[in-house]
Structure 1
């Protein structure tokens, strides 16, 4: 099912001092989040390094339209939002996607030219099957909590939210502030991601023709190492893991380690 394309929110943090010929950076959030998650220090850090930074909220998220029909939004709908944001930026972009946003960034880069592709704790080309089985075997209580939040509309238990997404030393006040901004995700998009294994062999053969990097969190329980390696393999690069960082890499205690690695990679483009 397709929907009329709603207005999308794009947050911009301009470079403090522009680098010559530097591409713009377009940040794509993961499930349950919105553009705000990149604007807690991550975008400012890279803007200070000379890059114009943009973060979009996919339809039904954050300040974008489409909340009333979020449950029907598909991955294809989200892809159109990304294409619209790139069109508005109107210059070469490096896509930086987290989790579901990493999957969407890879998918876009397989179909359209981009200046670069950075995937942070991405859902790999085969979708959510590996992550779901991992949680089912090793963290069933966390999987149950995730399903209760998505399908029963329950507010997340803060202790389980920390265990699932963040490092153990994230202060309670920061965890609570983030929890208040998280939201439900599209049921259709989660179904789409869960069915990706059926088309995995086809998509894995379509390697993006651009410089790429894949970063995983050393303490990530939601997207374990074998999933990160799978995404890196599909892009023809080696996965890298940032120690002391959990799944929500741009908000976690040691997010600067992730931003610093991205900065070094961007400078080498």
Structure 2
């Protein structure tokens, strides 16, 4: 399996600073971390972003991919880094990271607008009520379209459309699993967890994300007014800084 891995290395590496591995969400790719890759490296951390199998520049069959395969991709990539990494996951990638944390002794985990740790039935029913065509299409095996209004609330319209247009298809099996998955075990070795979210997220209810934070005894930081793609919306520097502050406090 050839996985696309984008890296940004700091000008001067500090040995005690762990690498940071970022994992994208539904229909995205490593490209969605372009702002944060530069910001993390500028703060002195080696920064990496992986495209899961079948996404962006990675090989693999998307049609048969399952969440367990995505977890394998993350663990395999993390094991190839020089030191134990901080795992950062957005949306579906947040759920993948919670599962990877139970298999890989990470320094920490950061969940960015994550698919809830518990089965996302409530999130799906909310989507069904607000956008019935897209929700029913998911059950029929079609990819949930990454519409600008799903992802952004503050970004310029042309820029939002550009990012939305870069999104691709998603595995129908993985999409189905998002709704009915089992909660992942607690992080291996008790790795600390940070959760970043917006109460105005169009795709995922804040109550479910807050429940995820409670499950992992995680620090929770909220950004009212932002959209689902916290790492690309207009105020992307604010959640990035919250993550950097969290990393600076790691033992």
Aligned-pair CA distance for 1:11: 0.3
Partner of 2:118: 126
The answer for the alignment partner of 1:35 in structure 2 is: 30
Once the two structures are overlaid, the 10-residue window that deviates more, 119-128 or 100-109, is: 119-128
User: Does structure 1 retain, via aligned residues, the 8 Å contact 2:128–2:136?
Assistant: no
Cα distance change, pair 185–242 in 1 and its aligned pair in 2 (3 A): same
Paired residue secondary structure (2:209):
helix
* 2:63 equivalent in structure 1: 71
Q: Does the CA contact (< 8 Å) of 1:27 and 1:38 recur in 2? A: yes
Distance in 2 separating the partners of 1:71 and 1:49: 38
Residue 165 of structure 1: how far off its partner (Å): 1.4
Within 5 Å, which residues of 2 pair with 1:71-110? 71-110=63-102
Q: Match for residue 222 of structure 1?
A: 203
Counterparts of 1:136 and 1:70, CA distance in 2: 24
TM-score, length basis structure 2: 0.91
Alpha-carbon deviation of 1:207? 4.8
> Which residue pairs with 2:152 in the alignment?
166
Q: Matched residues in 2 for 1:247 and 1:179: separation?
A: 12
Q: How far apart are 1:218 and its partner, in Å? A: 3.2
Mapped to 2, the partners of 1:154 and 1:229 lie a distance apart of 26
Q: Does the 8 Å contact 1:164/1:221 carry over to 2?
A: yes
Give the CA RMSD over aligned residues: 2.2
**Equivalences for 1:243-262 in 2 at 5 Å?**
243-262=224-243
Which runs of at least 4 in structure 1 moved beyond 4 Å after TM superposition? 146-156
Instruction: Quote the residue 1:48 is aligned against.
Output: 42
Task: Indicate whether 1:18 and 2:13 are aligned.
Answer: yes
SS at match of 2:6: strand
After superposition, where does 1:180-195 map in structure 2 within 5 Å?
180-195=165-180
Secondary structure of 2:102 counterpart? helix
Deviation at 1:248, TM superposition (A): 0.7
- Verify the 8 A CA contact 2:28 2:167 in the aligned structure 1: yes
Q: Does 1:136 align with 2:128?
A: yes
Aligned partner of 1:145 in structure 2 is 134
Uncovered stretches (5+) of structure 2, i.e. residues with no partner: none
Give the paired residue count: 249
Q: Which runs of 5+ in 1 are unaligned?
A: 1-5
